[in-house]
Amino acid sequence: MPSTESPALNRLLQIVAIFTCTVTLCAMPAHAAQRKKVEIQKTNAASKVAKRSSGEKSVRVARTSKTAVSAKSRVRVPVTIIPAIPSFGELAGLHGAPDALALKSSVALVIDQDTREVLFSKNEQAVLPIASLTKLMTGVVVNEAHLPMDEEITITQDDVDTEKRSRSRLTVGTSLSRGELLHLALMSSENRAAHALGRTYPGGMNTFVALMNAKAKALGMKDTRYVEPTGLSSNNQSSAHDLATLVNAAYNEPTLRELTTSPGYQVDVGSRTLQFNNTNRLVKNPDWDIGIQKTGFINEAGQCLVLQAKIAGRKLIMVFLDSAGKLSRIGDAERVRRWVESTPHVANNATKVAG
């Protein structure tokens, strides 16, 4: 049967069919690529989420592990609490002794410098380590030798403290004059300075220590013994009465009075200037008229202080040994001063007040 469609219409239908087929065939790869792209994006996103989750988990695990390690470390390496070394006074039970002024020092003595009458005493016969009060005798021996004070002395390894491992700003190789070292030893209790003074003394350290003990004997200090010039050794020992005798002797030397009561001092070390201060804050207190003083501390001795001061018109010598707190020796001196000033018969007459 012949076709009812015209040739032109048939031709148009063929072109449309071909075009539709071409478009379909061309579009199929694009849709597939698009789908692939979307699948890749989804995969990447999922991967990132997974990584992020994994990372967070890792961080949490890491933190947990770190905490666990820390916890384990704390278990494996427990904190060791080292108890404080008791002083000789504590070991002897001296801190339990009561006294009228409730002093914190286990040993105390207050005497009139002119009359030698005792105003206050507490365990005054006890013989204890005296720490850097030793340096007062070091100063006496150096001062009496009349050595050149401008002579340069160099700090060496021998002056480094190997017993208590105390610190010092005078490094090995530092050179200062003998006068500067004496100033630092008496004012700021510089251990290397004191040791260098003894080491460089004519005849050496043994001679110097022998002279310290000879001077103590000459002054009548029967309970006193020195083994070195700094006070770092607990074998340097004395009693309150002996120390009062030493304070009285040292007070007679103007140089020692000046150096021990100096509030501060500067020394040039190479290109630097070092500032040193007095270890006794009372020298800057306007309520005090101090003629000579020295502080001291090592664990075996506790906090120590000796001084001469004018109070209520009287020249008094005070000795405080084996005080428990860092500021308690200063507090004890203040308590004694207030007691003397507020007690008329003490201010005018020497009266013993035994603990």
Residues known to be catalytic: 132, 135, 189
Q: Which of 279, 220, 210, 266 is nearest to 246 (CA)?
A: 220
135: enclosing H helix or E strand: helix 134-145
Judged on CB neighbours under 10 Å (0-12, 13-18, 19+), 37 is exposed
> For residues 131 and 189, is the Cβ–Cβ distance under 8 A?
no
Sign of CA dihedral 137, 235, 319, 164: positive
**Pairing mode of beta strands 118-122, 353-354:** parallel
Q: Please compute, for residue 281, the number of CA atoms within 13 A of its CA located in the half-sphere on the CB side.
A: 8
Q: Give, in degrees to the nearest 5, the angle at Cα 62 between 59 and 64.
A: 105
**Pairing mode of beta strands 152-154, 237-238:** unpaired
Residues 6+ apart with CB under 8 A from 163: 232, 233
**Pairing mode of beta strands 237-238, 128-129:** antiparallel
* The two three-digit tokens of residue 93, written as one number: 């039970």
> For residues 125 and 107, is the Cβ–Cβ distance under 8 A?
no
